[in-house]
Amino acid sequence: MSDKKEKFLTRNYILMLLLNCIYGVSQNFITTPLAKQGVAIGLSMTTIGTIASAVTIIAIICRPIFCNFMDRINIKKVLYLALGCLFLSFVLIGLGSNNNATFYTVGRLVYGAGFSAVGTCLAAATSLSVSKTQIASGISVFLMAPMVLKTFTPNISMWLIETYGYKVNGLVAAVLLATGFICVTQLDISQQHRSMAPKEKQPIKLS
């Protein structure tokens, strides 16, 4: 038979799955204690809520911008930029533990951009890493794996904070996210990305 079942667990897909798990766990380390950390450095609940609203607005604005980038340039470069934004936000939020509301606030705002960018890039890159015949199964596993890990990472995050403080918790999250750059370096999706790009329309020739 000429029809062969295409591989489900391709090299790129495994890398994307690992990257998504790294992203999900490191994100959970940061987001679980955010409100508590804000109160600890002296911010009011109203201010914390206002910052959260601003983060959402930034995420909404940045998502189409990063989508446009992915349509125009190599998706790996956009992934590097997205992870870089998120890494910077983790570092700033961690530094905000020393009663520094400025670092905390700026870190939260940068997080809005990084969050929207990474989420969009991961979904797009994963869709390029799975065959069209198995894309539904691939996406479902891709989304489910980090959710399983998130069942226990909040406990680890709060233990780190109670034992070592917010700065160590932020540092652990940043270091963990940094390992995601290794996954991106091993991805080979640029050619697939180019092949799926719309072809330029040829002018109609009149004979």
Measured in whole angstroms, how far is the alpha carbon of residue 61 from the centre of its chain?
Answer: 16
Query: What's the pLDDT at 195?
Result: 45
Break the chain down into helix, strand, coil percent, rounded to 5: 80, 0, 20
Tell me the DSSP string of the chain.
----PPPSS-HHHHHHHHHHHHHHHHHHHHHTTHHHHHHHTT--HHHHHHHHHHHHHHHHHHHHHHHHHHHHS-HHHHHHHHHHHHHHHHHHHHHTTTT-HHHHHHHHHHHHHHHHHHHHHHHHHHHHHS-GGGHHHHHHHHHHHHHHHTTTHHHHHHHHHHHH-HHHHHHHHHHHHHTHHHHHHH---HHHHHHHSPPPPPPPPP-
Mean pLDDT by 10 residues, the chain (207 residues): 59 89 92 90 92 94 86 84 92 84 92 88 82 79 86 91 91 93 83 47 48
Nearest to 26 by CA among 179, 145, 184, 144: 179
Query: What's the pLDDT at 30?
Result: 93
**Phi-psi region for residue 5, left (φ > 0), alpha (ψ -120 to 50) or beta?**
beta
Please state the length of the chain: 207
CB-based contact 167:99 (threshold 8 Å): no
C-alpha–C-alpha distance, residues 4 and 2, integer Å? 6
Query: What's the pLDDT at 52?
Result: 93
CB-based contact 127:77 (threshold 8 Å): no
Query: What's the pLDDT at 169?
Result: 92
Query: What's the pLDDT at 111?
Result: 93
DSSP annotation of 44 reads: -
CB-based contact 174:110 (threshold 8 Å): no
Query: What's the pLDDT at 104?
Result: 92
